[in-house]
Amino acid sequence: MTLNTPHIAPNGAEIAETILLPGDPLRAKFIAETYLENVTQFNTVRNMFGYTGEFKGQKVSVMGTGMGIPSASLYTHELIHFFGVKRLIRIGTCGGLSDVVDTFDIVVAASASTDSNFMAHYKLPGTFAPTASWSLLSAVAQEAEKQGVKLNVGNVLSSDVFYKSDFSDNKKWADMGVLAVEMETAGIYAVAAAAGVEALSVFTVSDHLFKGSDTTAEQRETSFTDMMELVLPVAAGL
């Protein structure tokens, strides 16, 4: 039976139980073309490209989520509930907030604060704390140790607002020890938690909101490659 949803139409093509989720669908295409073998494209709806291939013989999918919690939570819901995805690894960019983080560092979200109202729809009798899967987080930490890669593991802010009307809001999150800002993780962690599946977000710091960044194309390329080399063996369960 071929199952399609309003936003994902594989027409019978396989989606792996583990999926990498960049925000940008063109980045999903680049990852499939650069790192995976025996690739098939499983989604083109709204140009939110999705692919399944193999990394060292193990099936892995990769698909864009778009930007923001409404978009990312919609795709992760469909991937989990209609296509049987069990492990979701967001691979994104983020803006550095904390002093301990520098541009091009790798950040791993152990947890995600948010200014979004998304959690309200769960109607919980309190405040939900979106948290990473320990098995994915510990696997990435072990892989980083093996590769000698430095990680910044902690809380990130998943914000609904890229251009804040009051820039000092960023400082308030930084003062709470929040490492970096991005726009999807709290929603992805909540959707995964509600479904009892695993999720983790890993980022490269593309800019720092309080430190000047004088960056080169080569540095950007290297930091992306470092993140991919860290995450791919984990996604493939190697």
Ligand X SMILES: O=c1cc[nH]c(=O)[nH]1
Residues with a known catalytic role: 207
Binding partner selected for residue 198 from ligand X, ligand R1P, none, CB under the kind-specific 5 to 8 Å limit: none
Query: What track of x and - describes contact with ligand R1P for positions 65 through 104 (by CB under 6 A)?
Result: --x------------------------xx-----------
Q: Return the number of the residue (10 or 130) whose C-beta is nearest ligand X.
A: 130
Strands 151-158 and 180-182: parallel
Query: Is 23 one of the binding residues for ligand R1P (CB under 6 A)?
Result: yes
Binding part of the chain for ligand R1P, among 20-28, 33-41, 98-106, 165-173 by CB under 6 A, reads 20-28
Binding part of the chain for ligand X, among 11-19, 38-46, 132-140, 175-183 by CB under 6 A, reads 175-183
Query: Is 183 one of the binding residues for ligand X (CB under 6 A)?
Result: yes
Q: Which of 8, 32, 94, 230 lies at the binding interface for ligand X (CB under 6 A)?
A: 94
Query: Is 95 one of the binding residues for ligand X (CB under 6 A)?
Result: yes
Cβ count near 174 (within 10 Å): 20
Binding part of the chain for ligand R1P, among 21-29, 36-44, 103-111, 120-128 by CB under 6 A, reads 21-29
Strand partners, 190: none
Query: Is 206 one of the binding residues for ligand X (CB under 6 A)?
Result: yes
Query: Is 162 one of the binding residues for ligand X (CB under 6 A)?
Result: yes
Q: Return the number of the residue (11 or 168) whose C-beta is nearest ligand X.
A: 168
Alpha-carbon distance values, 48 to 9, 30, 184, 205 (Å): 10, 13, 16, 23
| Binding to ligand X, residues 209-238 (CB under 6 A) | 209
Q: Return the number of the residue (10 or 22) whose C-beta is nearest ligand R1P.
A: 22
Query: Is 184 one of the binding residues for ligand R1P (CB under 6 A)?
Result: yes
Secondary structure (DSSP) of the chain: -----SS---TT----SEEEE-S-HHHHHHHHHHH-EEEEEEE-GGG--EEEEEETTEEEEEE---SSHHHHHHHHHHHHHHH---EEEEEEEEEE-STT--TT-EEEEEEEEES-SGGGGG--SS----B--HHHHHHHHHHHHHHT--EEEEEEEE-S-SS-SSTHHHHHHHHTT--EEESSHHHHHHHHHHHT-EEEEEEEEEEESSS-----HHHHHHHHHHHHHHHHHHHTT-
Binding part of the chain for ligand R1P, among 4-12, 16-24, 113-121, 147-155 by CB under 6 A, reads 16-24
Query: Is 182 one of the binding residues for ligand R1P (CB under 6 A)?
Result: yes
